[in-house]
Amino acid sequence: MAKVLIAYYSRRGENYVNGSIRSLSKGNTEVVAEKIKALIPQADLFHIDTVRQYSPSYMTCIEEAKQELRSNARPEMKEKLSNPEQYDTIILGYPNWWGTMPMVCYTFLESFDTSGKTIIPFCTNEGSGMGSSERAIRQLCPKAEIKKGISIHGAEAASSDREASLIASMTK
C-alpha cells in the first residue's frame, strides 16, 4: 500500500474565530491533522514549521503574513522532510492565509521532488474556503496529481470527523 505523509502547517495563539479573536492552545489545522492520523495510524505526521515564529497576536500576524505574500517570500523551515521519496501520497493541511497557503507551505513543496506523487490538500479557514491555494499547489507541483481540496471551517475543527474520514478515504 502507498506510504502516506500527513504534512501540515498550523499556528497556535490568537486567531479569528466566528467573528472574534480567541487564543487557541492548539491550531485548527493541527486538530484536523491529528484526526486524520488517528484514522491512518501507519501514516507519518510532519509538522511544517518556520524558523522565525509569527507573532501570537492576530493583528500583528496578519501583517507579517501579508508582507510575506506580497514579497513572495519563502520562509525557512525549522526542519526539512527526511526521505521524501518514500511517500506516494501527501495529505497537505494548512490554514487559509490571505486567500492562499502560508508561504512556508510554498517552501515545503519546493523542498523536494513531488513528481508522480498524489497530493490531497485540506484547508481550514474562516470562510474563504480553499482560496487560490489549489492553483498555487498545481503551479508548484506540475508533475504531481492534485486531488480536489477539502475546506473545513476552522471553528469546527474539533468536530470535523466526517471531513477527516473523507480525506483518509482519498488515500486508498
Binding site for ligand FMN (CB under 6 A): 10-11, 15-16, 24, 27-30, 58, 61-62, 65, 95-99, 124-128, 154
Q: Closest approach of Cβ 16 to ligand FMN, in Å?
A: 5
What is the closest distance, in whole angstroms, from the C-beta atom of residue 83 to ligand FMN in the complex? 26
The distance of closest approach from Cβ of residue 6 to ligand FMN in the complex, given in angstroms and rounded to an integer, is 13
Whole-number minimum distance, CB 124 to ligand FMN, in Å? 3
Which CB, 58 or 87, lies closer to ligand FMN? 58
Intra-chain end-to-end CA distance of the chain, in Å: 8
Number of H helices, E strands in the chain: 5, 8
CA 159 to chain CA centroid, Å, is 18
Q: How far is CA 19 from CA 41, 77, 118, 155, in A?
A: 35, 31, 35, 10
C-beta of 11 vs 37, nearer to ligand FMN: 11
Residue nearest to ligand FMN (CB): 154
Instruction: Report yes or no: 49 and 79 within 8 Å, Cβ to Cβ.
Output: yes
Burial class (CB in 10 A: 0-12, 13-18, 19+), 129: middle
Cell of 22: 480567541
Closest separation in Å from C-beta 18 to ligand FMN: 10
Identity of the residue, 21 or 38, whose beta carbon is nearer to ligand FMN in the bound complex? 21
HSE (side-chain half, CA atoms, 13 Å) at 152 = 30
